[in-house]
A and B are shown apart, each in its own frame.
Chain A
Amino acid sequence: MTDKQLSALKNRVAVTAAWIIALVYFFPLFWMVLTSFKTEAQAIALPPLVFFEPTLDNYFLIQERSGYAAYAWNSVVVSVGGTALSMLIAIPSAYAMAFNPGRWTKDILMWMLSTKMLPAVGVLMPIYIISLRSGFYDTKILLVIIYALINLPIIMLILFNYFREIPKEILEASRMDGTSTYNEITQIVMPLAWGGIASTALLSIVLCWNEAFWSIVLTTTDAATLTALVASYSNPEGLFWAKVSAVSTLACAPIVVFGWLCQKQLVQGLTFGAVK
């Protein structure tokens, strides 16, 4: 086999592998959407049904029983709110770390990231009790704060990397021009890192939207998000697959559409600003 043929073969194997992995990831979503259009009997039929007469009953039932809009609104509010709050903290912090690094800057970053390795359940009780006693239990404000805090380390790391790509001389030039720190951030750093900031914010929104643990634990009705709604459909009487699928589809749909529209920026954000 010549080198050319070999590399063509390698290429084909890689493409095939990529497709297989993509299908493995896609299949559960596909099956979920499919199941949401079945009756409960069809949903548990063996062998599984691929062709059947679709029904929208599950969707109507969910809307009737729970009211989708309120949960969706909560998800939007806490995702956008949590993202806004964390960006508000992360942008000046990342600016300070990127442009005035001290001896411990790297260690501080690593330490912040290490909090992501902490199992959330480890701090469940204190946070639960604090939220109850402070009267913030089941409020959107609580989720906004929690989401902002849990995403803060990763957002700071990404922004830090984006900011460091801004040539130092440009900031020095602005210092020579007499820019205040506030103007330096808003008129120089933010416009220059705008792509990075936008993609980081998008990533944060997705992370908040998909967060389930804290929303299930810290909300009941008033502030419950779509992830809490999904969880509420697994009840002691047993799983109703078709309904769970329908509610999951409803929970996923907005963020999938959102992600699809912002694909380019998201990929940029996930590569941590390494690829331009």
Chain B
Amino acid sequence: MASVTIRNLVKSYGNVQVMHGVDLDIEDGEFVVFVGPSGCGKSTLLRMIAGLEDISSGTVAIGDGVVNDVAPSKRGVAMVFQTYALYPHMTVYKNMAFGLKQAKTPEEEIDRRVRSAAEVLQINDYLDRSPRNLSGGQRQRVAIGRAIVRDPEVFLFDEPLSNLDAALRVQTRLEIARLHQRLDATMIYVTHDQVEAMTLADKIVVLRAGRVEQVGSPIDLYERPANAFVAQFIGSPKMNFFESNDLAPSAASNAPRQLSAGDVMGLRPEHMEVCAADQAVVQGNLELVEQLGEYALVHLKSEKGTEFIVKMDKPPTASKGDLISFNADHSLYHYFDKETEQRHT
């Protein structure tokens, strides 16, 4: 097990810089999730830790040593790829044994490790099959098994669930969480799915355009997003933003603070509550109701035309076009600078 320390990491392709001086501390045994929209550099960052991508400047240290110039296989990391990347011409057993064979591990040791990993992942019945005869979920387990047998200090996952169907994704997500508990290893996990990030992570790293936007526990990011980008990226449906002219006339007395023209106010759909008109902070005309059984997503439009969503336990009795008033607990309002997107404390 080991910590990972990243200092001022830069990645450029020719003249194009895609990673702009990333600093990050990942502690021993931590489950860290890199999350962000596509093209934000999360996979590149992971691949730089893995050693599959050259480092333009800055350092990556695993444990005590800087590994910038260390071969991927010598870094004590193992990677699970999005496409599984199993060796198609080898059986499951050979796929898992391949890395150990390259390291000239004794046969008995290889056999012991492969079988114990197969046990953990419940793939012992498939050891003689070739990958093409396995389902997507089984292939994913083999890919994870291939990582486990190497007994790495750090596990790297590159969007491991995105090729699985929805049901299998939930199940495999749980298995990865269990695996983390069981192995107690440092794990770094890349995803664009904020649900995966929230459920798996001890610590989430939100990236945008090659920069770290915020690092924190899932609940930190949810409750105190550092900026408007993180606020909208974490949480589903995403946080509603209102400008000063969106607010109801009575907002000044009902909201925790005045909203100036240069700021935006954020309210999460699940935090907004229906209230009397004179208590309102935000008002909107009902546009559409999505009934999901457990809850309803109510789509509204403010006087000025700003669309927003409110999550309600029960669908409203109002009909289309009716004006509905909302407010929220004072602790649940978020304020951001419109220009810099930074949070006002």
Report yes or no: B79 in contact with A178, Cβ–Cβ below 8 A.
Answer: no
Report yes or no: B85 in contact with A178, Cβ–Cβ below 8 A.
Answer: no
- Beyond A169-B83, A178-B71, 16 extra complex contacts between A and B, CB < 8 Å: A167-B85, A169-B81, A170-B88, A172-B52, A172-B85, A173-B81, A173-B146, A175-B71, A176-B50, A176-B51, A176-B72, A176-B99, A177-B146, A183-B102, A188-B87, A192-B88
CA distance A246 to B50 in the complex (A): 65
Does B280 belong to the interface (CB within 8 Å)? no
Given A169-B81, A179-B102, A183-B102, A174 and B87 contact (CB-CB distance below 8 Å): yes
CA distance A178 to B88 in the complex (A): 18
Proximity bits, B64-79, A CB within 8 Å = 1, else 0: 0000000111100111
Given A176-B50, A178-B71, A169 and B102 contact (CB-CB distance below 8 Å): no
Select from chain B the residue with minimum beta-carbon distance to A169: B85
Among B82, B83, B89, B102, the residue within 8 A (CB) of A177 is B102
**Sorted from nearest, which 4 A-B pairs have the closest CB atoms?**
A178-B73, A177-B99, A169-B85, A173-B85
CA distance A173 to B142 in the complex (A): 13
Report yes or no: B98 in contact with A174, Cβ–Cβ below 8 A.
Answer: yes
CA distance A48 to B99 in the complex (A): 70
Does A191 belong to the interface (CB within 8 Å)? yes
CA distance A188 to B101 in the complex (A): 14
Closest chain-B Cβ to A48's Cβ sits at a distance in Å of 55
List of B residues within 8 angstroms of A169 by Cβ: 81-83, 85
Among B50, B81, B83, B103, the residue within 8 A (CB) of A178 is B103
24 interchain pairs, CB-CB under 8 A: A167-B85, A169-B81, A169-B82, A170-B87, A173-B81, A173-B87, A173-B146, A174-B87, A174-B98, A175-B71, A175-B72, A175-B73, A176-B50, A176-B52, A176-B72, A176-B78, A176-B79, A178-B72, A178-B73, A178-B99, A178-B102, A179-B98, A179-B102, A192-B89
List of A residues within 8 angstroms of B103 by Cβ: 178
Report yes or no: B98 in contact with A172, Cβ–Cβ below 8 A.
Answer: no
CA distance A8 to B85 in the complex (A): 45
Report yes or no: B73 in contact with A167, Cβ–Cβ below 8 A.
Answer: no
Most chain B C-beta atoms within 10 Å of own C-beta, residue among A176, A179, A188:
A176
CA distance A191 to B88 in the complex (A): 9
CA distance A177 to B50 in the complex (A): 11
List of A residues within 8 angstroms of B74 by Cβ: 178
Closest chain-B Cβ to A100's Cβ sits at a distance in Å of 12
Report yes or no: A172 in contact with B102, Cβ–Cβ below 8 A.
Answer: no
Report yes or no: A175 in contact with B52, Cβ–Cβ below 8 A.
Answer: yes
Proximity bits, A74-114, B CB within 8 Å = 1, else 0: 00000000000000000000000000000000000000000
Select from chain B the residue with minimum beta-carbon distance to A166: B88
A159-196: which have CB < 8 Å to B? 167, 169-170, 172-180, 183, 188, 191-192
Closest chain-A Cβ to B46's Cβ sits at a distance in Å of 12
Number of A-B residue pairs with CB-CB distance less than 8 Å in the complex they form = 58
Select from chain B the residue with minimum beta-carbon distance to A172: B52
Proximity bits, B42-74, A CB within 8 Å = 1, else 0: 000000001110000000000000000001111
List of A residues within 8 angstroms of B146 by Cβ: 173, 177
Report yes or no: A167 in contact with B102, Cβ–Cβ below 8 A.
Answer: no
Closest chain-B Cβ to A173's Cβ sits at a distance in Å of 4
CA distance A177 to B78 in the complex (A): 8
List of A residues within 8 angstroms of B98 by Cβ: 174, 177, 179
List of B residues within 8 angstroms of A176 by Cβ: 50-52, 72-73, 77-79, 99
List of A residues within 8 angstroms of B78 by Cβ: 176
Report yes or no: B83 in contact with A167, Cβ–Cβ below 8 A.
Answer: yes
CA distance A175 to B70 in the complex (A): 12
Closest chain-A Cβ to B199's Cβ sits at a distance in Å of 26
List of B residues within 8 angstroms of A170 by Cβ: 85-88
Select from chain A the residue with minimum beta-carbon distance to B53: A172
Given A169-B81, A183-B102, A177 and B88 contact (CB-CB distance below 8 Å): no
List of A residues within 8 angstroms of B99 by Cβ: 176-178
CA distance A180 to B150 in the complex (A): 17
A13-48: which have CB < 8 Å to B? none
Closest chain-A Cβ to B99's Cβ sits at a distance in Å of 3
CA distance A192 to B86 in the complex (A): 12
Given A177-B98, A178-B102, A183-B102, A172 and B71 contact (CB-CB distance below 8 Å): no
Select from chain B the residue with minimum beta-carbon distance to A192: B89
Report yes or no: A191 in contact with B73, Cβ–Cβ below 8 A.
Answer: no
Closest chain-B Cβ to A122's Cβ sits at a distance in Å of 39
List of B residues within 8 angstroms of A178 by Cβ: 71-74, 99, 102-103
Select from chain A the residue with minimum beta-carbon distance to B83: A169
Closest chain-A Cβ to B116's Cβ sits at a distance in Å of 18
List of A residues within 8 angstroms of B83 by Cβ: 167, 169
